[in-house]
Amino acid sequence: MDELKKVLLAGIGLTSMTLEKADSFVKELVEKGRLTVEEGKELQSELKRKSEDELKDLTDKINTKTKGMQYATKEDVARLEEKLDTLLKQKEDTE
């Protein structure tokens, strides 16, 4: 089981397959008798845990990288569009 688990985890990579696809793959292995039901459940929980851990790590990295950044809000963009429209109208009026 440990070798199979390592191969599956490495093969799936959690980045190339969604958790849903991984679950259906594990169910298929159980149906074909390559894994017991208990091993399948264990593998599914490990895949879920690993994907949640990876998601948390990725979210933490993104939050760290973007911590000091400021983004334009919808209101900021709307104000800029309004100013741009006003400037374009003034330009048209002077021509």
Ordered per-residue pLDDT tens for the chain, 95 residues: 456 556 556 655 555 567 777 788 888 888 988 888 898 888 888 888 887 887 788 778 877 877 887 878 899 999 999 999 999 999 888 87
Q: Name the residue ranges covered by the structural domains of the chain.
A: 2-70
Residue 80's pLDDT is what?
Answer: 96
Token pair recorded at residue 57: 């790590």
CA atoms within 13 A on the CB side of 31: 6
CA distances, 49 to each of 14, 31, 34, 61 (Å): 11, 23, 22, 18
